[in-house]
Amino acid sequence: MSENTFPDRARVDARDKVRGATRYAADTPLPRLAHAMTVPSPIVRGRLTAIETGAARDMPGVLAVLTWRDFAGVASAGYLLGGGRAFQSHQPMLSDRLVHRGEPVALVVAETLETATAAAALVRATCEAEPFAAALGETGEEVTPPQQSYNVGDAEAAWTAAATRVDAAYSHPAQFQNPMELIATVAEWRDGVLSIHEGSQNAGAVKFGLAAALGLDPAQVRVDSAHLGGAFGQKNSMQLQTVLVARAAMLLGRPVKLVMPRAQLFHTASFRPASRHRVRLGADAQGRMVAAVYEADMQNSRADTLRPTFSEITSRLYDIPNYRSAERLVRTDVQSPGYMRAPFEHPAAFAFESAVDELAHATGQDPLAFRLAHEATRDPVTGRPFSSRLLADCLRQGADRFGWARRTPQPGSMRDENGMLVGWGVASGAYKAAMSPAIARLRVRANGTTRLSVSGHEMGQGMRNAILATLMAHLSIDPARVDIRVGDTEAVPQHLTAGSWGTASAIPVVRQAALEVRQRLAELRGSRQMRGDLHQMLARLRRPHIEVEVRGHAPGQPDAVFGRLQNGLPAAGGPEYPDFVSFSFAAHFVEVRVEPTTRRIRVPRVVSTIDCGRVVSPRTADSQVRGAVVWGIGAALREAAEIDPRFGGVLNNDLAEYVVPVNADIGSIDVGFIDRPDLLLNQAGVKGLGEVAMVGVAAAIGNAIFHATGRRLRELPMRMEHMV
Ligand code: MOS
């Protein structure tokens, strides 16, 4: 049977979603459910000297007001990237120490949400405040020495000797994911078992993190994360609220729910940190790019280290013989920043792909031809081959669809029928193709049902569609009666689903499980001819079911990596493998129209072409790319956290003022896929899509604005006032 024959016409969860039947964590119905609300710290940094809770406790319907004194014996679960399982090492409410604005100082639990919210407003915290720096560039920030990340050839010398040079600084603000589903935790403690319902990309980390924090046996903790309403990296580990809610449920002997309000999330959850970038590029007399020096600073918290890997993609986007990069951490008084969709790749591509455009212009070359002329045939960093690299195909196919050949090179030379300045820009993107260890358990029953349990999470991206399409490509089963279990620690061990490895990790084991079921059936049938679907054949063979379990991991990983998977620790491999390196690629073509007097910028048209290996579910893949392009437009033109340095907090902490695109901001988005399986990376041929589709969008917009106006904007978001 050929692969990919399942029609994939609709989202498997579409009907439930539009009927409101999909159950997110906060929808979990439990008898005697109590409601919690947090009280945010009134300062940024310092010590809690007193907390007045009497008025809140006296309010009718209040069950408890917990402060740090109720958390004796509770420990931090540790920072995810430091061997722990939480988004930061600082767990609020374990002591009187305060390290970032908005961290909870009390948790009010009441019979209703209204009571909890009203009572929380009556809690008074008195603090001793210390000086702080809550944003990049503020007095008190601590800049670490530069750490070199990539070094090929002699980039400084080659740049100094170059015939044409670009030296440009770019900046990127702090951004917040703002998934539609707020971070919600429902905890129930019953018969020595702690059951947690929380939308997470990492149910395993929540399980083992809670066990470590509360001193429980991990077997006592169950985490269900069946559906998420978006995550984008913000839900990739145990949240600071999880342990608070779990402890409250254990102390009260009642299930407790907390939905962190959006305004608080800007200070209690992870985010994309602010960054500054300096890119120096040099070309020789023939216009060939010979040197790149890329230096960057990225905001961090005081305690935890999120290492920027801006150059992981920019060092291999092109064949540049001399490349050097170094990064500095800038320590500030904020909650720990983390991964947000294309965490480093999106800002890096904005800086680097803008600079490449600047060099193409400075050397008098067409920016598309310039990129194609520097196509790499082997990885410039390791010398290894790419598992597959179809960036040039993306650029050529995208250019055709876009009509790039009709572009006139001179900035400001194109106008539309209404007198708007028209600009056409292009940029490339790449993102590592990584894989996590994953386990699939597949049971097909004679009664017509199928259950598939697999490591992975449904964040809204369509994981269940990709899984069902894979099963249906290999098995004649009833698609309406397939129960797909993801994000459930009671099904199989759950990995951190992030880094665009969800599909590349789950689909190979799902596919292998399907093939093994077929093999088993063939053995049972022997030479007998049988009609009907798999369920009917099992019934005729008098077998109640066939069950198989399959494990997989990234190429070159030892089997010991399953130990990490089984303990809720990150275990993905890539993008460097023993015999090759592996990346997904993207090319974005953007048309902007700039109103010549107000300089209002619109983006009527984008063409994005992607090399993500095999496209498993065309329906959800197309939607992934659209979402990424919309986000790229928002990141380029709208999105930024506005920090007040005196108050040390985010001023625009709601969706009214944290501006993201609306429908009226989005024009045509034409999505193309190369769709060639990468069989070196895995047997399913999948590389990964979720993040690469956003990488380069902002640069393509900036490059188009330059083409429209002759103005080069190097600060995100790019706004009309920057062009005055
Ligand atoms: Mo993604 S930002 O690695 O969840």
636-675 per-position pLDDT tens digit:
999 999 999 999 999 999 999 999 999 999 999 999 999 9
Q: How far from the centroid of its chain's Cα atoms is residue 545's Cα?
A: 38
Q: How far is the CA of 405 from the centre of ligand 1 (A)?
A: 36
Task: Pick the atom of ligand 1 nearest to 235's CA.
Answer: 4
CA of 497 to the centre of ligand 1 (A): 8
Pocket test for ligand 1, best of 225, 691, 694 (most atoms within 8 A of CB): 691
Q: Is 341 in the pocket of ligand 1 (CB under 6 A)?
A: yes
Q: Which atom of ligand 1 is nearest to the CA of 338?
A: 2
**694-to-82, 281, 427, 505, 630 alpha-carbon distances in Å:** 27, 23, 11, 21, 8
CA distance 163 to 359: 11
Inter-residue contact 64 to 37 (CB < 8 Å): no
With a 6 Å cutoff on the Cβ, whether 102 touches ligand 1 is no
Q: Using N-to-C axis directions, what is the helix angle for 240-252 and 203-214, rounded to 10°?
A: 60
Output the CA 343–ligand 1 centroid distance in Å: 7
E runs forming strands in 648-695: 649-650, 668-673
Ligand 1 pocket residue status of 340, Cβ below 6 Å: yes
Instruction: Please tell me the distance between residue 461's alpha carbon and the centre of ligand 1 in angstroms.
Output: 12
3-state helix, strand, coil in the chain (%, to 5): 30, 25, 45
Task: Give 698 Cα–ligand 1 centroid separation in angstroms.
Answer: 18
Instruction: Answer yes or no: is the C-beta of 499 below 6 A from any ligand 1 atom.
Output: yes
Given ligand 1 and candidates 236, 270, 309, which is best to mutate, with the most ligand atoms within 8 Å of its CB? 236
Which residue CA neighbors atom 4 of ligand 1 most closely? 233
Q: Which of 306, 313, 339 to mutate to test the pocket of ligand 1 (most atoms within 8 A of CB)?
A: 339
Q: What are phi and psi of 205, to 5 degrees?
A: -65, -35
**688 within ligand 1 shell (Cβ under 6 A):** no
9 Cα to the center of ligand 1, angstroms: 27
Q: How far apart are CA 701 and CA 494, in angstroms?
A: 38
Q: Evaluate if residue 383 carries a pLDDT over 80.
A: yes
- The predicted pLDDT at position 6 comes to 66
- Calculate how far, in angstroms, residue 234's C-alpha sits from the geometric centre of ligand 1: 8
| Six-digit token string for 11 | 């989202």
H helix or E strand, kind and range, residue 678: none
Distance 407 CA to ligand 1 centre (A): 36
What ligand 1 atom has the least distance to the C-alpha of 497? 4
* pLDDT of res. 10: 83
Concatenate the DSSP letters of all residues of 401-421 into one string.
HHTGGG--SSTT-EE-TTS-E
Structural domains in the chain, CATH included, are: 33-131+177-268 (3.90.1170.50), 147-175+272-433+578-723 (3.30.365.10), 435-565 (3.30.365.10)
- pLDDT exceeds cutoff 60 at 612: yes
Which of 593, 551, 591, 553 lies closest to 573, judged by CA?
553
Does 10 or 387 have the greater pLDDT score? 387
- Region 355-362: what's the mean pLDDT? 98
Whether ligand 1 lies within 6 angstroms of the CB of 482 is answered as: no
Residue 208 carries which side chain, given as an amino acid letter? Answer: F
pLDDT above 70 covers a percentage of the chain that reads 99
Our answer on whether the CB atom of 201 is closer than 6 Å to any ligand 1 atom is yes
CA dist 526 → 520, 523, 541 (Å): 10, 5, 11
Q: What is the ipTM of this complex?
A: 0.97
Is ligand 1 within 6 A of the CB of residue 461?
no
The whole-number pLDDT of residue 1 equals 37
Model pLDDT, residue 5: 55
Ligand 1 within 6 A of CB of 233: yes
- CB-neighbour burial class of residue 278 (10 A; exposed 0-12, middle 13-18, buried 19+): middle
For residue 724, the model assigns a pLDDT of 79
| Predicted TM-score (pTM) of this structure | 0.97
Terminal Cα distance for the chain, rounded: 61
Q: Are 463 and 689 in contact (CB under 8 A)?
A: no
According to the model, what pLDDT value does residue 669 have?
Answer: 98
Q: Which residues, at least 6 apart from 714, have a Cβ–Cβ distance to it below 8 Å?
A: 168, 169, 170, 171, 354, 702
pLDDT in tens, 534-592: 999 999 999 999 999 999 999 999 999 999 999 999 999 999 999 999 999 999 999 99
Residue type at position 75: A
Is residue 460 within 6 Å of ligand 1 at its C-beta? no
Quote the ligand 1 centre to 233 CA distance (angstroms): 4
Pocket test for ligand 1, best of 177, 234, 341, 436 (most atoms within 8 A of CB): 341
DSSP annotation of 681 reads: T
Give 8's pLDDT tier (boundaries 50, 70, 90). Answer: confident
498 lines ligand 1 (CB under 6 A): yes
Of the candidates 11, 201, 5, which has an alpha carbon nearest to the alpha carbon of residue 621? Answer: 11
Expressed in angstroms and rounded, the spacing between residue 434 Cα and the centre of ligand 1 is: 12
pLDDT tens digits for range 479-518: 999 999 999 999 999 999 999 999 999 999 999 999 999 9
- Rg, C-alpha atoms of the chain: 26
Ligand 1 centre from 328 Cα, in Å? Answer: 22
Q: In angstroms, what is the span from residue 92 Cα to ligand 1's centroid? A: 24
CB 613 near ligand 1, within 6 Å? no
Q: How many CA atoms lie within 13 A of 671 on its CB side?
A: 20
- Whether the per-residue pLDDT at 3 is higher than 80: the answer is no
Ligand 1 contact via 497 beta carbon (within 6 Å)? no
Average pLDDT over the chain reads 97
- Residue 339 in contact with ligand 1 by CB distance below 6 A: yes
Which residue has 């790449």 as its token pair? 430
**Alpha helices of 110-162 — where are they, by DSSP H?**
113-120, 155-161
The kind and range of the H/E element at 398 are: helix 391-402
- How far apart CA 325 and CA 155 sit, in angstroms, is 9
Instruction: Give the pLDDT confidence score for residue 2 in this predicted structure.
Output: 42
Ligand 1 atom closest to 690 (CA):
1
